[in-house]
Structure 1
Amino acid sequence: MSEFTNVAEIFGSNVFNDAVMQERLPKKVYKELKKTIEEGKELDLATADVIAHEMKEWAIEKGATHYTHWFQPLTGVTAEKHDSFISAPDKNGKVLMSFSGKELIKGEPDASSFPSGGLRATFEARGYTAWDCTSPAFVRQDAAGATLCIPTAFCSYTGEALDQKTPLLRSMEAINTEALRLLRLFGNTTSKKVTPSVGPEQEYFLVDKAKYLQRKDLIYTGRTLFGAMPPKGQELDDHYFGNIRQRIAAFMKEVNEELWKLGVTAKTQHNEVAPAQHELAPIYAECNVAVDHNQIVMKTLKMVACRHGLQCLLHEKPFAGVNGSGKHNNWSITTDDGINLLDPGTTPHENIQFLLVLACILKAVDTHADLLRESAADVGNDHRLGANEAPPAIISIFLGEQLEDVVEQLISTGEATHSLEGGKLMTGVKTLPDLTKDATDRNRTSPFAFTGNKFEFRMVGSKDSIAAPNIVLNTIVAEAFAEASDVLEKADDFEMAVHDLIKKYLTEHQRIIFNGNGYSDAWVEEAERRGLPNIKSMVDAIPALTTDKAIGLFEKFHVFTKAELESRAEIQYETYAKAINIEAKAMIDIASKQIIPAVIKYTKSLADTVNAVTAAGAEASVQSELLAETSGLLSDTKVALQKLIDLDKKSAEVPEGAELAHYFHEEIVPAMAELRAPVDNLEMIVDKEMWPMPSYGDLMFEV
């Protein structure tokens, strides 16, 4: 690979984007496709045939031999089935390369083995993928060669959504419709479309591949189930924004190049807080494109890591004792003519439209805090949320000093007369310029923080799709906009009505605003006094999906049916139980086959040493103490192991669904912690040469 990268030249080079379509498609066909993308107009088959032909020709020029409908089932990862472009041979035995409009628009993968939560029986195999033409097709180049990837939605034969993309697109339609209603009330007749925009930051760990392959827990579960802390962790904060090591820099360079080719606007890269932890952040994209791009980012991180002898860990908590990884979901809403509805302007107290939008979002988040929390619920995230590194499990909103002051004015007097100014930041150094200071600081402990012209939802887990939180955000805000429009459209005096509504929403939902330290115990107590939910685990979050409130919300805006919500809840319970079961079985396997044999070998070595030293006439008190301590911890390990084995066997008797998930959460997870404790203590005693796996220090510092 060349040392110099011409970003402008390679960016989007493997994407069938607007520029490529303008160049290759007949004008009439291009216009029809743009109507479909911008207005939701249905695409006729004749037009699709022309698009498919040009897309195929373009892909073949890029070296593609196969195409795939690239979709996002409810497994948490993407799925694809590859078909070659070749058609049946002619009478001379020659094949043609063909790709029809029908093949572009619709695919039919086997739906029987994907999670459906009871929507589909195992014998009901038919499912359909449908082209999402608002997210551009791309050619992915990897060890399999080049493949044309067509972003699609995935539905069952009976029409239910079996994926993340379908409800996401539905939620985008909902917020578009309701935001336009609101804008029309303020006299905006020019904006034709409102789209949620998202910029997801991605945190990840990198470890040496050879060491990774010596850790069965990482291979099976993505996290270390055992491991004592090394002498140095993240205490000095020296890794954070520190100098990027050359091996990692080479990896990052290749990641950027791969992403740029695929049209992903990889912008920021840096070392994160924990050793071996890093972050990548893109520029904003339309919501569904951002969801697709984030899946591409995760796939690319893993693919490129392998090329560099590394392993990318996307688990939320691969190492106990240091920071885990999240995915900050930066969310805003923008019109097609460039108006950001979350931009307060220089005088937010005078920006009535912004204040109403803000009040609606406060109302939405307060009303549906349980749903928003559930959207970030994940097995791995249970280890992260609420720890001193990530947002607490309590949903609250940080507005900052400027907006909080405006809100207080509106609540107390019904009128806001001023906005706090940012002022100047005096550096005290003559050679440095004085800086214009923002009117508001940031708060890294807030799960939902306003950061200038967007909200940053910081709860999402690092390996999770960002689809679920954005589905919830789009829909709950659409509901708040709809309810506001219902009131204001009937008002005789719009100006008076909008002021009254802003005050009403702010007064009723001010409890959700919190600008302090979200990590403090005092906040947990204060949140309880305010009546804010504190949902600490995934299994406790899942019921939010199927409340009457949630069903009414999603059915009203045609995002989910009741059956689709119930199926997703069932899948979530099943996912939790299966993930913890795998972790428990992995612990049993590792403890039985690796750790206990290694400790027995060490105790024998100690016993032989005690006998040899004593026989030589010297005192062996140190060796004897070590032997006694090791034997004691070994006994504790065996007892804890047997307890975990017994509890895991008993799980077979527990009914599936919520009951089984709760069993794993309340019985198996504590038993796993009991087994880990003596093993981690043993790691600090046993000869490193005898310990059967690389240590935390080996993994985090030897990359």
Structure 2
Amino acid sequence: MEKHVTDFYGCNVFNFATMRARLPKITYKSLKKTIDEGLALDESVAEIVASAMKDWAIEKGATHFTHWFQPMTGITAEKHDSFISPTDDGKVIMEFTGKDLVKGEPDASSFPSGGLRATFEARGYTAWDCTSPAFVKDGTLYIPTVFCSYTGEVLDKKTPLLRSMEALNKQALRILKLFGSSATRVTTTVGPEQEYFLVDKDLWSKRKDLIFTGRTLFGAKPPKGQELEDHYFGNIKERISNYMKDLDTELWKLGIAAKTKHNEVAPAQHELAPIFTTSNIATDHNQLTMEIMKKVAIKHNLTCLLHEKPFAGVNGSGKHNNWSMSTNEGQNLLEPGSTPHDNTQFLIFLCAVIKAVDDYQDLLRLSVASAGNDHRLGANEAPPAIVSIFLGDQLTDILLQMENGKAKEKNYSCMLETGVASLPNLPKDSTDRNRTSPFAFTGNKFEFRMLGSSSSIAGCNFVLNTIVAEVLQQFAERLESASDLSAEICALISDTVKNHKRIIFNGNNYSQEWVEEAERRGLLNLKSTVECIPTFIKDKNVAVFVKHGVLSKSEIESRYEILLENYIKTINIEALTMLSMAKTEILPSAFKYSKELADTINSVKTTGMPVEISAQSTALKELSSVLSSFTSNIAALKKALNKAADDSSDLLSQAEQYSKSVVAAMENLRTDADKLEAIIPRIIYPFPTYAELLFNI
């Protein structure tokens, strides 16, 4: 009989329930206090925890342990060591010490460092992040850790996130103290919705572009795409449903609260959404989710595609980052309540987010920038590259009133009548949702919708935490020195609305009118990754990270270099893959079909019969014309690629070459290739088409 979810949920996690059952009471209380209050870890506790954790893991079938970390590659890393320790009699014992738990030493030489470390300087350290629970997977005990160099510089995505959470906690508590709150800790929470594609693995294996780059570099539009909108929330096919069921099971075993699953807009596209948790655990969980999505797919002879734009002409995949702030007393600081116009604490935190997003819109845009996301943002399926905030009618009206005084009470709620006696009338929300907004308030949280599906959520969250912490500090300093707190709060809200209302936009973010209006408002429109990256090292942006101890100047400069290098390498791999496919697969198929057409024409001519051959001739002429352009564009791409690769002036200049010249040459080559695909018979064309990939499941 199949087990109930409640029987196995979190069974592979060393969570609080497991700790409570296996640790001495005093040790459990000490560790939980460390986790809950962000205190320093008592070294004596680590030894006891390590012993209990080892015994539990061995019972789960583990033979190894690993310090699991998140380097600047964007994925996770792990080095596995066994528990075995030889004894004098030729046997072994299973050993795991507090030192093993707390500190690891992976080789750091081959991870991106952006010049922080020379290649020969290999030593790096991992340190246990006890705020994220350890877990057992595939016979190994996984210990979530942070990663730094021998000299102490941060080399991972997790450390800045944890630092930013501390920064926000510190400043949020200052605000709460002014309102008489007894809260002692504020944490940011995230629920990342994950979009993805599933394609048949056998078809995937026949396309170099999917294998090497995660997206199709060539592909003509099929006769049917997403026009009928019949896939969105549609009936889930049995093969996909079985995959989703297995995926849920594997995630639940690891304590990942997968909640929602459904078909997305594009054919073969789907979405999974978890219940929110603290930002650092949510980050770990999302990395695991992406890994397990791919792993489970293989069992169903499927491949999971997490690229932001695997198929041209249909919607790409994003990751919606649902972000909020909560106290250790269970209060959501972005909960408006039934009378938000009187909820001044909520309005202060809301205004802090508004000001932060406006002041640091370049950093938020940078936090989601990638070569893959460049294909998605602004493509009438995702938010544009312009950062703006949707608040809805109610909150916008309240803030505009407070700009000029105190907001008056107004009833925004009403009932939605169904018009059918047997159906209940429904309470209607005070405002609609806006699915085109990049940063939308959705009831009691902000949904940052610009993230790409393959990205780590650590980046955007450490930026968001830091910039909100900065504004909360500004607010706290102003309010703490006020002689009349109530009056100063009203003045602060009024000033914030007056100075930052330009970032609020409740309309259609997809429209050209908004692009023009945003320019008039003075909002940034950073359309590409290469335009975004230089904003990282602007003085004001360096200052905010340094001020709050999230990143040092050298760490920021290293990340700047890593981002440029990653972009260059990504486009270079894509261009090389295109050239390989064009020369070794598409060209031979085109030549073969050309020969067939020519042979057909010659065969008909040799019969001596007065047979019309204009159709064959026209087809050959069309094919030859496109083929001529195609070969020219192969040469043009190769030339652009060589020129960009030879640009040694600096990384930014080289990235700009790739962004402009190489990407443009790739687009030209693709245009001709897709024309050839529409001409060459399927039996001759060398790899699976969009029609097969998107609908053959």
Alignment correspondent of 2:378:
386
Counterparts in 2 of 1:21-32, with a 5 A limit? 21-32=19-30
What is the TM-score normalised by the length of structure 2?
A: 0.99
**CA-CA distance at 1:43 after TM superposition:** 2.4
Question: Deviations 1:344-386 (Å, cap 9, x if unpaired)?
Answer: 0011101111111111111000000000000000110000001
Residue aligned with 2:570, SS = helix
Question: After the TM superposition, which residues 218-297 of structure 1 pair with which residues of structure 2 at under 5 Å, given as runs?
Answer: 218-297=210-289
Counterpart in 1 of 2:137? 140
Q: Which runs of 4+ in 1 moved over 4 A?
A: none
CA distance in structure 2 between the partners assigned to 1:20 and 1:437 by the alignment: 43
Provide the rounded CA distance (Å) in 2 between the counterparts of 1:364 and 1:420: 29
Quote how far apart the aligned CAs of 1:5 are. 4.4
One of 4, 27, 32 as aligned partner of 1:6: 4
Equivalent in 617, 620, 636 of residue 624 of structure 1: 617
Alignment partner, residue 390 of structure 2: 398
> For the residues of structure 2 that align with 1:470 and 1:454, how far apart are their CA atoms?
13
Q: For residue 526 of structure 1, what is the aligned residue in structure 2?
A: 517
Partner of residue 119, structure 2: 122
2:55 counterpart (40, 54, 57): 57
The residue identity in structure 1 corresponding to 2:35 is I
Is 1:18 the equivalent of 2:10? Answer: no
Is 1:462 matched up with 2:465?
no
The reply to whether residue 207 of structure 1 matches residue 199 of structure 2 is: yes
1:666 is matched with 660
Q: Which amino acid aligns with 1:377?
A: A
Per-residue CA distance 1:100-141 (angstroms, 9 max, x = gap): 000000000000100010111101111100000000000013
Are 2:109 and 1:112 equivalent residues in the alignment? Answer: yes
2:84 is paired with a residue of what secondary structure? coil
Q: Give 1:55 deviation, angstroms.
A: 0.3
Q: Normalised by the size of structure 1, how large is the TM-score? A: 0.98
Instruction: Please name the residue that 2:148 is paired with.
Output: 155
CA distance in 1, matches of 2:260, 2:43: 41
Deviations 1:222-241 (A, max 9, x none): 00000001000000000000
What do the CA deviations read for 1:51-83 (whole angstroms, capped 9, x no partner)?
001100000000001100000000000000000
CA distance in 1 between partners of 2:646 and 2:577 (Å): 20
1:559 and 1:419 map into 2 onto residues whose CA distance is 42
From 647, 651, 654, give the equivalent of 2:644: 651
Matched to 1:36, the amino acid is T
Percent identity between matched residues is: 60
- 2:628 paired with 1:635: yes
Tell me how far apart the structure 1 counterparts of residues 158 and 422 of structure 2 sit (CA, whole Å).
Answer: 52
Aligned equivalents of 1:150, 1:419: Cα separation in 2 = 52
Separation of aligned partners in 1, 2:297 and 2:652: 37
Which residue type is aligned with residue 205 of structure 1? F
Contact 1:67 1:82 in 2 (8 A): yes
Q: Equivalent residue of 2:576, what SS?
A: helix
Task: Select which of 667, 679, 688 maps to 1:685.
Answer: 679
User: Alpha carbon RMSD of aligned pairs, Å?
Assistant: 0.8
Which residue of 173, 177, 185 maps to 2:170?
Answer: 177
Task: Give the Cα–Cα distance (whole angstroms) in 2 for the partners of residues 45 and 439 of structure 1.
Answer: 51
Answer yes or no: is the 8 Å Cα contact 1:402–1:420 preserved in 2. Answer: no
User: What SS is found at the alignment partner of 1:158?
Assistant: coil
**Separation (CA, whole Å) in 2 of partners of 1:419 and 1:111:** 59
Following the alignment from structure 1 to structure 2, what is the Cα–Cα distance between the partners of residues 447 and 40? 32
In 2, the alpha carbon distance for the partners of 1:240 and 1:676 equals: 28
Q: Which residue of 2 aligns with 1:164?
A: 157
Written as runs of structure 1 = structure 2, the 5 A alignment for 1:529-678 is 529-616=520-607, 617=609, 618-655=611-648, 656-678=650-672
Q: Which runs of 5+ in 1 are unaligned?
A: none
For the residue of structure 2 that corresponds to 1:139, the secondary structure is: strand
Alignment match, 2:350 = 358
Q: Deviations over 1:618-666 (max 9, x none)?
A: 1111111000000111111000001111121222320241111111001
Q: Secondary structure at the match of 2:628?
A: helix
Rounded Cα–Cα distance in structure 1 between residues aligned with 2:628 and 2:478:
69
Cα offset, 1:262, TM superposition: 0.1
Letter in 2 for 1:395: V
How far, CA to CA, are the matches of 2:476 and 2:285 in structure 1?
33
**In structure 1, what is the Cα distance between the partners aligned to 2:39 and 2:561?**
35
682-691 or 654-663: which moved more?
654-663
Q: Deviations over 1:157-192 (max 9, x none)?
A: 11111001000000000000000000000111x211
In 2, Cα distance between equivalents of 1:59 and 1:560: 35
Paired residues in the alignment total: 694
Aligned partners of 1:646, 1:346: CA distance in 2, in Å?
Answer: 63
- Structure 2 gaps of 5+ residues are none
CA distance in 1, matches of 2:644, 2:466: 37
Q: Deviations over 1:533-583 (max 9, x none)?
A: 000000100111111101110111000111111110100000000000000
The structural deviation recorded for 1:430 is 1.5
CA distance in 1, matches of 2:643, 2:320: 39
Q: CA deviation at 1:419?
A: 3.6
For 1:420 and 1:381, how far apart are their aligned partners in 2?
41
Match of 1:186 among 166, 179, 183: 179
Q: Following the alignment from structure 1 to structure 2, what is the Cα–Cα distance between the partners of residues 285 and 473?
A: 16
C-alpha separation between the residues in 2 aligned to 1:544 and 1:347? 39
**Contact 1:405-1:420 at 8 Å conserved across structures:** no
2:67 to 61, 69, 84: 69
Which whole-Å CA distance do the structure 1 matches of 2:410 and 2:656 have between them? 49
